[in-house]
Amino acid sequence: MSIPTMPTELRNAARRAKGFMPDAEGLALFETAAEYGTRGPICEIGTYCGKSAIYLGAGARQAGSVVVTVDHHRGSEEIQPGWPYHDPSLMDHRFGKMDSLPTFRQTIAAAGLEEEVIAVVGPSDRVAALWNTPLGMLFIDGGHSEEPVTKDYEGWAPHVTPGGALVFHDIYPDPADGGQAPYRVYQRVLASGAFKEVRHTGSLRVLERVGPGIG
């Protein structure tokens, strides 16, 4: 099977967008979306400012699919004031809270992906409780501490269709490289036997559903 090519203008838009997705991992995300988006819609948990949604949206366009990206847009723990990844330009001073939604909307509009990328604004676990559509691909990249990443996995992984993909970002086997909560959940997934790993690019892991349950 030939490897899809991400259009140059969309790749450049993704590179310019605010966010934390390295380009090599973003391209892997695009290729995964182009492949698995043919099996159902794509869901992203953790939108932030839309950088990864451009890679996903470009893949969804090639697959004839869509991306539903879920985020409360108030920021995960690591981007709050006083934390290393905090961006003061995203503060809504009227409420004293982070608000990445306006920047996300501008990012997706500028990339020309408003038809492919659909924003759902709300807590991941509350949205998951209402969700019923089988997913061709699920990308988990929301909060990176134990509770949110566990809730994201338990709430959304059951919706991944047989043969669909579950993708994790920021998987660091060595604690010196990054936080361990996503890695522990990733290990739990592999131990369950419901998914097998099919791709590894940087901190990105792509798993394919091969059995029932999530473990």
Tokens of 181: 């909560």
What whole-number distance in Å separates Cα of residue 76 and Cα of residue 178?
A: 16
pLDDT given at position 83: 76
pLDDT given at position 199: 97
pLDDT given at position 215: 72
140 pLDDT band, cuts 50/70/90, is very high
Is residue 144 part of the annotated active site? The answer reads yes
The mean pLDDT of 131-148, rounded to a whole number, is 95
The CATH class that applies to domain 8-209 reads alpha beta
pLDDT given at position 80: 85
Could you tell me what percent of the chain has a pLDDT over 90? Answer: 83
Could you tell me what percent of the chain has a pLDDT over 70? Answer: 100
pLDDT given at position 204: 98
When mean pLDDT is compared across 27-31, 115-119, 172-176, the lowest value belongs to 172-176
pLDDT given at position 1: 59
The mean pLDDT of 153-180, rounded to a whole number, is 95
Which tens digits make up the pLDDT trace of 60-110? 999 999 999 999 999 888 878 887 888 888 898 899 899 999 999 999 999
- For residue 212, pLDDT beyond 90: no
pTM for the predicted model, two decimal places: 0.95
Tokens of 155: 């709430």
DSSP assignment of the chain: -PPP---HHHHHHHHHSSS---HHHHHHHHHHHHHHGGGS-EEEE--TTSHHHHHHHHHHHHHT--EEEEE-SS--GGGSTTSTT--GGGEETTTTEE--HHHHHHHHHHHT-TTTEEEEES-HHHHHTT--S-EEEEEE-S--SHHHHHHHHHHHGGGEEEEEEEEES---SSTTTS-SHHHHHHHHHHHHTSEEEEEEETTEEEEEE-SS---
Which tens digits make up the pLDDT trace of 181-209? 999 999 999 999 999 999 999 999 999 99
* Active-site entry in 144, 159, 169, 200: 144
Query: What are the domain boundaries of the chain?
Result: 8-209
